Chain A
Amino acid sequence: MDRLRTWIAAAALMLPAAAIGAEYRLYVDGLACPFCAYGIEKQLGKLDGVEDVHVEVGNGLVRVVTRGDRELRETDVREAVERAGFTLDRFDPVKAGS
């Protein structure tokens, strides 16, 4: 029974770790109103492995978080931003996935 409890506790500790993915900061040019931000969120959200997208319109910053060990390629992100009708200026990986 103790061994079972140990396994359950270990599994519980591992679950959050597995959910933490890579994080990116994107700087997007041409973004100047909230309605435009939705288009960016929608296109980036379609990329495989993307968990969360948050746009700060005021400074053109887009934060993207992926699931697990999924990582994004700059070319895919650039194309997604282009599909939304905007221009990717910078692609900065902040944290690698685990």
Chain B
Amino acid sequence: MKRRAGNVAAGFALLVVASAVAAAPITFNTALPVGEGEFIGRHQVIVRERTVPGGEVHVRALGNALGYGVSGRLAVFGVLPVIDRELEAGDATRHAHGFGDLTLFGRYTAWRRDERGRTLRLAPFAGVTAPTGADDESDALGRLPRPIQTGSGVWSGFGGVVITRQTLDWQADAQIAYRASGTDEGYQAGDELRFDASLQYRVWPRSLARADAFGYAVLETGWAREGRDTVGGASTATGGVRVTVSPGVQWVGRRWVIEGIVQIPVVQNLRSTAAEDDYIASAGVRYSF
């Protein structure tokens, strides 16, 4: 039952790590700046419904992220979710609740070209996820399976690059990222390679004269190839390819961003014991201080 725990946690990290500023992608990163000495806070309520062989997993989480601008180009972020997971399998219901894994990462805007009302930026990023969440919770039936634990139990590292094109009318972002995990008690989560793209189109206001807030329609897509988890050196029937399409909305003010999105799986070419996503919905706020 050691199915993709690492990537379950990673999925949340990606949702919450996500964009830090501006009219940015909702489910992943952006190359736009966090000003020097500026803090960015972000909180997301996440609902994720999954199907596993013989049952269903209901996930409710509160994603919390804090970003800080070290300079106009370098920003550091910390992400700590609070997770509630429930497994329904036949007559049995198993449950775990608590803090998830802590993710820390940095992002550096390595290249940018600014013009009036538009910008093009490229930013590599890298970080680690520490196994701060519990991975040894148990109930009357014994130790909870990994997909239900709030922590993955393994360290993992990730890196990638994001490119952002922002204009007054629209913004497009694309990101490629790779995550590799360590080992815990003979368990190792499969590596993950993913590609994400996002388009945000300003639908309000029509005129920019004295506009203090923008409303955006958002469309995102994600492609992820998850490797097999291994247990005691042996590969398990986990992992595969997932593709999602995600419509969303954003309201962007001077200090606040309010946003919501639904990630809909359109392709899940998975091995036999991998968990399938039914959908992932999130809504949240970002603010600068």
Contacts and interface: CB of A to CB of B under 8 A. Distances in A.
Interface in A55-83: 56-60, 82-83
Contacts of B114: 29-30, 86-87
Contacts, number: 105
Contact of B112 (A30, A42, A84): A30
Interface residues of A, number: 28
A59 B117 CA distance: 7
Q: Tell which of B168, B209, B210 has the most Cβ of chain A within 10 Å.
A: B168
Contact of A30 (B21, B118, B252): B118
A56 B116 CA distance: 12
Interface in B194-222: 208-214
B115 A43 contact: no
Given A58-B208, A85-B34, A35 B72 contact: no
A96 interface: no
Interface residues of B, number: 39
B73 interface: yes
B257 interface: yes
Contacts of A86: 33, 72, 114, 119
A34 B211 CA distance: 8
* Dominant secondary structure of chain B at its interface with chain A: loop
B166 interface: yes
Contact of A35 (B22, B167, B210): B22
Contacts of B212: 34
Contacts of A83: 35-37, 71-72
A85 B35 CA distance: 6
B32 interface: yes
Contact of A82 (B22, B72, B255): B72
Interface of A: 27, 29-43, 56-60, 82-87, 89
Interface of B: 21-23, 32-38, 69, 71-73, 109, 112, 114-119, 166-168, 171, 208-214, 252-255, 257, 288
Given A30-B115, A58-B210, 8 more contacts: A32-B167, A33-B166, A38-B254, A39-B21, A58-B168, A85-B32, A85-B73, A86-B114
16 contacts: A32-B167, A32-B168, A33-B168, A33-B171, A36-B21, A36-B32, A36-B33, A38-B288, A39-B288, A40-B35, A43-B35, A57-B211, A58-B117, A60-B117, A83-B37, A85-B109
